[in-house]
Structure 1
Amino acid sequence: MKWCKKHTGLIVEIISYLFILLFVYAAISKLLDFENFQIQLGQSPMLSVYAGWLAWLVPVLELLIVGLLVFPRTRLLGLMGAFTLMVMFTVYIYIILNYASYVPCSCGGVLEKLGWGEHLVFNMAFIFLALLAIYIALHPSLNYLNLSKRFVLTTLNILTIGAISTVTLLYNSSEKQMHTRNPFIRRFTQHPLRAIAEKDLKLNSFYISGFNKGNIYLSNQTAPLLVKKLDTSLLKTENLRLSIPKDSLPYRAVRTMIIPPYFFIVDGSIPYVLRGLLKTKKADYKKINEFFSLAVPVRNDSLVVRARNHTNNENVLGTLSLVKEPQLTMARSILKKQIDGVFDTDGTLIYNKEYQKVLYTYFYRNQYTIAESDLSSYDIANTIDTISKAQISIDTISSRAIRKLSKPPLMVNKLTATSGRYLFINSGIMGNYESSKVWDRSSVIDVYDFIAQSYIGSFRIQHIGKEKLSDFRVEGNLLVCLVGTHLQTYRIRDRLFR
C-alpha cells in the first residue's frame, strides 16, 4: 500500500514537472521574443484580430498554471488548468489543419521545429498525461482539497466544452472581422505564387502596357513607339514598332496601352489620343479639346479619363468618346474631395473587362471606387488600412500661382491591377504584427473581391537587391511584374482565392 501511494504520487509529480517544464519554457520563449510571437499570432488565420491581447494572455496563463502545479495543495487545480489549455491548443491546431484558409508558421520555442501534424500528436499526448495525473491525484492521500470524483468529472466536461467553444468562437469571430471589419491585420497566404520565369531587361524605363491571353507587352518611356512582346515563359520575344501620322508631336507624358486587337497612345498634356490596330501597327490621330492626366480604354471607341473640372479646377472623371469629333462627358460626383480636390483625389485608374467596371483607387486614403463603364453609377469600398483621410500638406507658391505638396505624403495605395472579380493593390502601409525587415525586402499586394467588397488576403513580391516593384498586371491566375530591370512571371495558386 505504501509502495502504491509513493509511486502514484511520483507519477503525478513527474507529469506535473513535465507541464512545468513545458509551460515555463514556452512562456519565457514567448516573452523573450515577444515581438516575433506577436507577429506570428498576427499572421494566424483565426487569432490575428485578437493578437494584441492574446500575445500577453497566453504566457501569463502558462505561468499561472505553473504556479498552481508547483505546490502539492493546488496541483490538482493546476493539472485541470493544464488540461484545459492543452485542449484549447489542440482544437486550435485541428481547425488550422482542417478549416483555415492557410496554415501559418507555428510558434512556441522548441515546438516551432515541429510540424502541425506532429504538434497535434504532441498536444494529445499531454492531454492524456493530464487526465492520467488528474485521475491519480484524486486518491485521498493526494487530494488535498477533498474534491469529489463527480465534481472533477463534471468540471472537466465543462472545461472541455468551454475550451472547444472558446476557440471555435474566436475562429468564427476573427473570420468575420477579417473579411468585413478588418482592423488592418493582413492575412498572408502561404506560398501563393509559383515562379514561372525571370528575365533581366537591362533597362528600368520599361512599363507593362498590356497583358492579354498570355502575351506581355512592354513599352519604353524613352521610346514610346517601340513595344516588346513576350510570352509568359519569357523565351519568345518580338519587337513591334508602332506608326503614328505625326512623329514630331511634342509629347511630354505619353502612355501606350495595348488591348488587342487595338493599341492606344495617349498624352493628356498636349492633349491627343492615337488608336490603331496591332495587326497594321498604324494609328489614327485624334485631337482632344480637354486636357487630362489619366486615361484607360473601356471600349474600342471610348476611354475613361481623369480631367479637371472647369468650375473649380478639381479632379473629375469623365468618358471620352472617339466617335467622329471626340467628346468628353464629365461625371463630377464620383471623385470625393477631402482637402483640395486635386492632390487628395489622386490615384490609379484601371478597367475590369470581365465585369465592365472602372476601378479608381485613391493614393492617400483607404478607398476605391467601382463605377460602371459609362460612369452612370458607382459604389465606394474600403481597403483594410485605417487611413480614412488623406495625410497631405499643401503649400501655395503665390508668385507662380501654383500649389505643391510641402512634404512627402503618406502613400496608402500604390500600384493596382484587376482580373475577374478581384482588385490587386500594392499597399504602402505596413499592417499590425508585420516585420519591418520583411516589409523592407518585399512589396505587399492586397487582394480584394470588389464585387463582394471584401478583403481576400495578401501576398508578397520580393525585391531584388534595392530594386522594388515598379509595375504589375494580373490575368486569371497569371501574374507578371517588373522589379527594377527584371521582368518576372508567376502562377497564382488557387489557395489565395480560397
Structure 2
Amino acid sequence: MKLQENYKKLIIELICFLYALLFVYAAASKLVDFERFQVQLAQSPVLSIYAEWISYFVIGFELIISGMLLFSATRIIGLYFAFVLMSMFTSYIFIVLHYSSFIPCSCGGILEKMSWKTHLIFNSLFVMMAAVAIIILKNKRQDDFSITKNSSKIWTLLACAIMATTAVVILFLSSEQAIHHKNPFVRRYPKKAIELYKTIDLRWNSYYFAGYEKNILYLANYTDPLHLLSIDSDGKQKRIKLYLDYRNQSFKSIKIVVQDGWFYLFDGTLPRIYRGNTKDWKLTAELKRTPKFSLAQPMDSVTIAFRNNTGNDRANVIGIFSAEKDTVLYSQNLLTRQIDGIFDTDGILLYNQNRKQIHYIYYYRNEFITADRNGELMRRSNTIDTNKQAKIKVAYLKNNTERQMAAPPLKVNSISAVRNNLLFINSKVPGRFEDEKFWKKSSVVDVYNLDNNSYVLSFYVQEIPNQKIQNIFVTDDHLYVTAGTNLMVFNLGYLLKSEMKRESELKTDR
C-alpha cells in the first residue's frame, strides 16, 4: 500500500515538475523577446486584436501556475488552472489548423521547432497529464480509479475543458469580426498573400501603368510619352508607337490610359483629351470643350471622371465630363474640406471598370470615397490607421493668392489600385505591434473589400535597395509593381483570389 502511495506521489510530482518546467521555460522565452511575442500574437487569426493584454496575461498566468504547483497547499488549484490553460492552448491550435484562413506561428524557443500538428499532440498529452494528476490527488484516500467512482471529477474536468474551449471560440469570433470591421490598427500579414513570380528589367525608371487588356499589360513612359511598352503573359515585350494627328499642339503634362479597346492622351494643363483605337494606335479624335483638370480617368469612350480646383475658395472638386452630351457635372460635396480644401483633399482618383464606380483615396487622412458613375456618393470608408484629421500646415502667400506646404505633411495613403471588389492601398503609417525593420526595407499594402466595407489583409513588398516602389497595378491573378527600373510580377495568393470577385460574378450581382 505504501509503495503504491509512493508511486502516486511520484507521478504527481513528475507531472507538476514537467508543467512548471514547461510554463517557466515558455514564459521566459516570451519575456526574452517580448516584442516579437506580441507581434506574433497580433498575427494570430484567433487573437489579433487582443494581443496586448493576452501577451501579459499568458506570461503572468504561466508563472503563477508554476509557483502554485511547487506547494502542496496550492497544488490542486494549480493543476486545475494548468488543465484549463493547456485546454485553451489546445483549442487555439485546433481552431488555427481547421478554421482559420491562414496558419501563423506564435510559439517560443524549442516549441517553435514543432509543427502545428505536433504541437497539438504535445498539448493534448499535457492536458491528459493534468487530468490524471487531478484525479490521483482527489483519490488520495481511495484506491478505486474506476470511471464510476470518479465520474464527478471527470464531469468537473469536462466542464472546465468546455469552458476553456468556449472562451477561445468567443475570442476567435469576436477577434475576426473586429479585425475586419472595427480594426484597432492591427495589420494581418498572412503567409504567401503574394509570391514573386519574376522581375523584368525595364531599363528606365520613368514607366507607369497605362492599362491592361486581353492579358497584355501596357506601360507608358513620362520621358517618351508617344511610345507604349506592352508585355504579354509570357513576358514578351513589344514597343508600340502612338500616332498623333495634332502635332502642332504643345503638350506639358501627358498621361496615357488604355481601356476597353481605346487609348487616351490626357493633358490637364491645356486642357486636352485625345482618343484613339488600339487597333491602329492612332489618336484621331479630340474630346472637345474639356474642363481643366489635375486628375482624370476615362469611364467610357466619351465620359471622363476628373478632379480640378474650381470649388469654393478654389478647393478640389470631383466632376464628370461627357463629351457626347457636352456637359460637366460637379459633385461639390464629394470631397470634404478639413483645412484648405486643396492640400488636405489631395489624393488618388481611380475608376473601377468592372463595378462602374469612382474611388478617391485621400493622401493625408484615413478615408476613401466610393461614388457611382454620375458622381453620386455611395459611401465613405476608412482605412485601418487612426489619422482622421489631415496633419498638414498650409502657408498663404502673395495676399492669399498662392498656397504651399509650410511643413512636411504626414502622408497616410500613397499609390493605390483597384480590381473588382478589392482596393489595394500602399500605407505609409506603421500599425501596432509591427516590426519597424520591415518598414525600412519594404512597402506595405493594405487590402479592402468594397462589397462589405471591410479590411482583408496586408502584405509586404520587399523593395530593391535604393529603388522605392512607384506604382502598383492588379489583375485577377497578378500584382504588378514598378520600382526604379524594375517591373516586379507577383502571383496573387489563395486568400486574395478567394476574396476577389471575378468579372462574371460581378455581372451576376448587378
Normalised by the size of structure 2, how large is the TM-score? 0.92
Secondary structure, aligned partner of 1:224: coil
Secondary structure, aligned partner of 1:252: coil
Shift of 1:306: 0.1
Query: Which 10-residue stretch deviates more, 285-294 or 88-97?
Result: 285-294
Query: Which 10-residue stretch deviates more, 217-226 or 378-387?
Result: 378-387
Q: 1:67 to 1:151 in 2, by over 3 A?
A: farther
Deviations 1:129-171 (A, max 9, x none): 11122222224379xxxxx967654542332121011100000
Counterpart position of 2:411: 411
Task: Please tell me the residue identity of whatever aligns with 2:261.
Answer: P
Shift of 1:313: 0.5
Give me the whole-angstrom Cα distance separating, in 1, the residues matched to 2:251 and 2:440: 36
Give me the whole-angstrom Cα distance separating, in 2, the residues matched to 1:397 and 1:332: 26
Counterpart position of 1:145: none
Give me the whole-angstrom Cα distance separating, in 2, the residues matched to 1:340 and 1:84: 57
Is the contact between residue 245 and residue 285 of structure 1 (CA under 8 Å) also seen in structure 2?
no
Counterpart position of 1:43: 43
Normalised by the size of structure 1, how large is the TM-score? 0.94
Task: Tell me the C-alpha RMSD between the 2 structures.
Answer: 2.0
Give me the whole-angstrom Cα distance separating, in 1, the residues matched to 2:158 and 2:226: 74
Give me the whole-angstrom Cα distance separating, in 1, the residues matched to 2:362 and 2:344: 8
Secondary structure, aligned partner of 1:440: helix
Give me the whole-angstrom Cα distance separating, in 1, the residues matched to 2:364 and 2:234: 36
Give me the whole-angstrom Cα distance separating, in 2, the residues matched to 1:366 and 1:400: 28
Q: 1:79 to 1:20 in 2, by over 3 A?
A: same
Counterpart position of 1:105: 105
Alignment of 1:383-394 (within 5 A): 383-394=383-394
Gaps of 5+ in 2: 143-148, 500-510
Is the contact between residue 135 and residue 153 of structure 2 (CA under 8 Å) also seen in structure 1?
no
Give me the whole-angstrom Cα distance separating, in 1, the residues matched to 2:406 and 2:313: 22
Task: Please tell me the residue identity of whatever aligns with 1:201.
Answer: L
Task: Please tell me the residue identity of whatever aligns with 1:107.
Answer: C
Q: 1:444 to 1:29 in 2, by over 3 A?
A: same
Deviations 1:44-102 (A, max 9, x none): 11211111111111000000000101112211211111111110000000101111111
Shift of 1:478: 2.0
1:445 matched to 2:445: yes
Is the contact between residue 196 and residue 232 of structure 1 (CA under 8 Å) also seen in structure 2?
no
Q: What is the count of residue pairs matched by the alignment? A: 492
Alignment of 1:176-195 (within 5 A): 176-195=177-196
Give me the whole-angstrom Cα distance separating, in 1, the residues matched to 2:431 and 2:311: 39
Is the contact between residue 366 and residue 385 of structure 1 (CA under 8 Å) also seen in structure 2?
yes
Counterpart position of 1:7: 7
Q: 1:276 to 1:65 in 2, by over 3 A?
A: same
Q: 1:109 to 1:248 in 2, by over 3 A?
A: farther
Counterpart position of 2:263: 263
Shift of 1:3: 1.4
Secondary structure, aligned partner of 1:411: coil
Q: In percent, how many aligned pairs have the same letter?
A: 38
Counterpart position of 2:322: 321
Task: Please tell me the residue identity of whatever aligns with 2:401.
Answer: A
Give me the whole-angstrom Cα distance separating, in 1, the residues matched to 2:89 and 2:347: 44
Shift of 1:352: 0.8
Query: Which 10-residue stretch deviates more, 281-290 or 47-56?
Result: 281-290
Alignment of 1:145-294 (within 5 A): 152-234=153-235, 236-283=236-283, 284-286=285-287, 288=289, 290-294=291-295
Give me the whole-angstrom Cα distance separating, in 1, the residues matched to 2:11 and 2:355: 67
Task: Please tell me the residue identity of whatever aligns with 1:460.
Answer: Y
Is the contact between residue 273 and residue 290 of structure 2 (CA under 8 Å) also seen in structure 1?
no
Give me the whole-angstrom Cα distance separating, in 1, the residues matched to 2:311 and 2:436: 44
Secondary structure, aligned partner of 1:223: coil
